[in-house]
Amino acid sequence: MTKITDQPTYWYYDPENRAAPVRQLPWGTADQCNLSAPFQTQEAAELSRQAAHLAAQPQAWARAEEARRINAANGWGLGFELSHIPRYLALIHSEITEAACEAEPAKINHELGDVIVRALDLAHLTDPQATRLWFADPLNQSAVGTWGRNHPQHLWPTGALLYLHTITSRALEAYRKTEDDGRLRHNVVTELKTLVAYVVACMRVVQVDADPEAIVGKILAANATRGHRHGGRRA
């Protein structure tokens, strides 16, 4: 008798839903599901899925432009002047404090997402060209790098939240102590980039599988449906 062998299986990911986990399926069935090319190992499929997922994400500056467009439509930030920067930084401090007041990981990361939205909006208001330069990577790649002893995995929660306040205060110091307007814009946007990167790192400490890009996307989508800019009528 001829022995019937099991149909070989391979690993695939869904190109239309790159955030979904990879799947193991028999050879041939993937073609019917419009899945990726087959991979012999789960690790290879996962690496390819992650690369495709990152490649499909918008650059952070595009999110900054989206935040500015939504906020402008809701009447926020019109007639912006450099002298308004301290007010915007105060609101970032407020969002960090709101994150500190939450206990559930998902709610903490939502508030941290608000920090990112405000930082991106302020960066775009301060210097759109510098924002395109400094925020060229997708948000989910913003935390790449080393933070040394200040890494949020060592400091979370109290120390990491304090460090977020510190970075925000550095942006204020850049505003206060830089006389040349062009240099001021550059320095403030640079600190805001550092702030966003550190927020992303914090979000991944709060939730290992956190997707900062998705969180910010949901916040912006919600803000776009509101009758007035998010965060209250005064600020």
Q: Strand, helix or coil at 8?
A: coil
What is the structure's pLDDT at 3?
39
Which of 14-18, 20-24, 126-130, 174-178 is the least confident region?
A: 14-18
Q: What sections of 74-180 are H helices per DSSP?
A: 85-101, 105-126, 128-134, 152-155, 158-177
- Position 208 pLDDT exceeds 80: yes
Convert the pLDDT of each residue in 61-112 to its tens digit.
Answer: 899 999 999 999 988 889 999 999 999 999 999 999 999 999 999 999 999 9
Beta carbons within 8 Å of 104's beta carbon, 6+ residues apart: none
What is the structure's pLDDT at 5?
43
Which of 25-39, 75-89, 130-144, 158-172 is the least confident region?
A: 25-39
What is the structure's pLDDT at 19?
67
- Position 233 pLDDT exceeds 70: no
Beta strand pairing call for 9-12 and 23-26: antiparallel
* 129 or 20, higher pLDDT: 129
Rounded average pLDDT over 152-157? 94
Cα–Cα dist 18/22, whole Å: 9
**Torsion angles phi and psi, residue 127, rounded to 5:** -160, 95
Please report where in the chains the tokens 């019937």 appear, as a residue.
Answer: 4
In the chain, the percentage of residues whose pLDDT exceeds 70 is: 83
Rounded average pLDDT over 198-204? 95
- Position 197 pLDDT exceeds 50: yes
What is the structure's pLDDT at 134?
87
Confidence of residue 157 (pLDDT cuts 50, 70, 90): very high
Cα–Cα dist 173/40, whole Å: 54
The CA R_g of the chain, rounded to the nearest whole Å, is 21
Cα–Cα dist 210/46, whole Å: 17
**Is residue 11 within 8 Å of 49, Cβ to Cβ?**
no
pTM value is: 0.77
**Is residue 39 within 8 Å of 26, Cβ to Cβ?**
no
Rounded average pLDDT over 126-152? 84
- Position 126 pLDDT exceeds 50: yes
**Is residue 43 within 8 Å of 64, Cβ to Cβ?**
no
Rounded average pLDDT over 149-170? 96
- Position 152 pLDDT exceeds 90: yes
Which of 15-19, 123-127, 229-233 is the least confident region?
A: 229-233
What is the structure's pLDDT at 1?
37
Mean pLDDT of the chain: 85
- Position 212 pLDDT exceeds 80: yes
